Structure 1
Amino acid sequence: MSGNALAGYLNMSQPVCYYHYCDAHAFLQIIQNKAIWASDLKYMNDPREVGESFRIVAEFLEGMDFDARSPNGNFLSGLRDHFNGLRESTRIFGCSFSKKADDLYSWLNYGSKGVGFSLGLDRDYFMNLWTDVVYDTKDFQDKIEKIWQDGVLKFSGAAEDEERRVAVYTTSYRLQEASAAFKHTSWRAEDEVRLTSLVWGPENSDSPMSILGGGVYEINGTVKYRSSKRGIVPFVNLRLDAEDYGGQKLSQSIAEVIVGPNNKTDIGVLRSLLVENGFTGVRIRKSNCEFED
């Protein structure tokens, strides 16, 4: 086998990963707790997070006009009500990853200036729960239009009231999910992909926040809290040690760890830490970036 063919085979045998950059303290917590945080997107580093995408969706829905008695009019009325209800009663939690494995921008901004780690999760572990972040307003508007078209088609073709309700609810949740993955074009360099979780938590309710739907990845269905430079941040723990989902066997979550360019952690120590916590066969390598803080 030629060198090029061997390299191609090795690349094919490696899982596709998305990378979470973090400092050493966060990395240690992730490994020892076998979980990664998804935090309220309102506390992310882009002050326009979520609010701008909600505004665009609201303008799209308000800008449409149909006969109230028509199928499109009925669908629009129900969708407006449900989507606005979601906005008022829920929060979107998310965990950020990059498609770039060993990226200077990410090391500087999220990897403790090269002293941290880049944690590569096998894309297949979280299956279809990943959402690509959109950075262009026109692309986001097109995505909203596509979600609308899919929803109205299902609503118009439904024979029963329950099917029509499902079409409304599904479209509303899809719009909510899309709203969780839109950022200003100035953040494009991050090439971000997200895991998101919907949490019930109206601002004026005396009931505690709770995860909607739960699931195999969310631990105990409870919301936790941590302090940060932005105040008290609510978050949920997403499991990294689930073995199956709906009867389907899952791949191991952690596939690769890249040690930051200014991180002095011994590879043997790192592998021992991973193995002791149930993560075996992880590819470990040193960053190819070189810079001094």
Structure 2
Amino acid sequence: MIISREYKPKENDLIYHYCDSNAFFAICTNRKLWMNDLHSMNDFMELHWGYSIWEQSANTRIEKYGKEFLDEIDEVIHFSGFQGLLLANCFSTDKDVLSQWRAYADDGKGYVIGFNAKELLGLPIRALQVLYDKEQQIKEATATIDALYQLKQEDSNEFKTFCNVFGYDLSAFKNPAFIEKKEIRLIHLLDFKKSNDFMKLVDKGGIYFGEDRKGEEIKFRIKQDIPTPYIELDFSNNNKINPIKEVVIGPKNEVMKTAIRIFLETIGIEKVEINKSNASYR
């Protein structure tokens, strides 16, 4: 059985995005999420950790299935990396974690935005629930190798498709040191397209709230002196929905709840629950 890391929320589940004040303002006023290059995230081991889990799991199956079969999976995983670039936006299932406030919300002076998870799934993304237990990661990856071998024996047309999915889902395996993040990761794939004697990035779009739409403009920003690509996704479906259900004010943020409520109601983000962090941090 192929084990998927796909996140499947219940009807009223919220997922939480930690951000500084400027990002909070931009997200609320523009109704857009930035999908960022996964290689530029805070954890320098992004993607590498998941691939190392694949290697360790594959080593346990060399004698059973042979190196040639495992190399075939590895080739698909590597080829998918050359085909496109993974973008991501990160959320948590926990709205008030001190380490998160420190790392992602301007040392506690920012905000947490709580989104209705099912509504966000209307975007052209794949939602993954991050796993931090290394033993469980190897167990899942090994079970997936077993399932892929069965598909190969059946000469299934789905073999390469599931190899690709497996390769992308490796991004949902993270170092146990990050377990407090309780992360839900939204990913979106950009494609590489030949341009003159090299390549460029293109977004082929996808399904937005049940409709097929063209891709977004690919933009760049400078991060640590490097041009870093991103796209913006409209989570309001052209102002037809409002998935923002809660805002949590950071432990070092002195703003009044009433000020945030007035701000949100005035710009049309209505009926949002406003709370203050319970974290003791000054």
Question: Which position in structure 1 is the counterpart of 2:5?
Answer: none
Question: Which position in structure 2 is the counterpart of 1:214?
Answer: 206
C-alpha contact 1:219 1:238 (8 A) present in aligned 2: no
Q: Is 1:26 aligned to residue 23 of structure 2? A: yes
Kindly provide the CA deviation profile for residues 148-171 of structure 1, in whole angstroms up to 9, marking residues without a partner as x: 34444455556xxxxx33x12321
State the alpha-carbon separation in 1 of the partners of residues 65 and 275 from structure 2.
Answer: 61
List gaps (5 residues or longer) in structure 2.
1-9
For 2:87, which of 84, 93, 96 is the aligned residue? 93
Write out aligned runs for 1:220-235 (5 A).
220-229=215-224, 231-235=226-230
C-alpha contact 1:107 1:114 (8 A) present in aligned 2: yes
Question: Which position in structure 2 is the counterpart of 1:198?
Answer: 189
Aligned-pair distance for 1:211? Answer: 3.0
Kindly provide the CA deviation profile for residues 206-260 of structure 1, in whole angstroms up to 9, marking residues without a partner as x: 332123553317984332111223632211223211279xxxxx97321111111
State the alpha-carbon separation in 2 of the partners of residues 253 and 14 from structure 1.
Answer: 12
State the alpha-carbon separation in 2 of the partners of residues 193 and 137 from structure 1.
Answer: 17
For 2:265, which of 248, 252, 275 is the aligned residue? 275
Opposite residue 260 of structure 2, the aligned amino acid is: L
List gaps (5 residues or longer) in structure 1.
1-12, 159-163, 245-249
State the alpha-carbon separation in 1 of the partners of residues 266 and 145 from structure 2.
Answer: 48
Higher strand share: 2
User: Higher mean Cα deviation, 20-29 or 36-45?
Assistant: 36-45
RMSD across aligned positions (CA): 3.4
Opposite residue 252 of structure 2, the aligned amino acid is: N
State the alpha-carbon separation in 1 of the partners of residues 48 and 11 from structure 2.
Answer: 38
Write out aligned runs for 1:7-18 (5 A).
15-18=12-15
Question: Which position in structure 2 is the counterpart of 1:107?
Answer: 101
User: Higher mean Cα deviation, 182-191 or 215-224?
Assistant: 215-224
For 1:168, which of 159, 162, 169 is the aligned residue? 159
C-alpha contact 1:34 1:240 (8 A) present in aligned 2: yes
State the alpha-carbon separation in 1 of the partners of residues 205 and 148 from structure 2.
Answer: 21
Aligned-pair distance for 1:54? Answer: 2.0
Question: Which position in structure 2 is the counterpart of 1:36?
Answer: 33
C-alpha contact 1:20 1:118 (8 A) present in aligned 2: yes
Opposite residue 94 of structure 1, the aligned amino acid is: A
Q: Which structure has the larger Rg over C-alpha atoms?
A: 1
C-alpha contact 1:34 1:277 (8 A) present in aligned 2: no
Aligned-pair distance for 1:272? Answer: 3.5
C-alpha contact 1:122 1:255 (8 A) present in aligned 2: yes
Kindly provide the CA deviation profile for residues 75-100 of structure 1, in whole angstroms up to 9, marking residues without a partner as x: 76754432221122322211111111
Q: Report how many aligned residue pairs link the two structures.
A: 265
| TM-score normalised per structure 1 | 0.77
Question: Which position in structure 2 is the counterpart of 1:238?
Answer: 233
Aligned-pair distance for 1:25? Answer: 0.4
State the alpha-carbon separation in 1 of the partners of residues 214 and 258 from structure 2.
Answer: 30
Aligned-pair distance for 1:61? Answer: 4.7
Aligned-pair distance for 1:135? Answer: 1.8
Aligned-pair distance for 1:176? Answer: 2.3
* Distance change >3 Å, CA 192–CA 153, structure 1 → 2: same
* Distance change >3 Å, CA 20–CA 39, structure 1 → 2: same
C-alpha contact 1:256 1:284 (8 A) present in aligned 2: yes
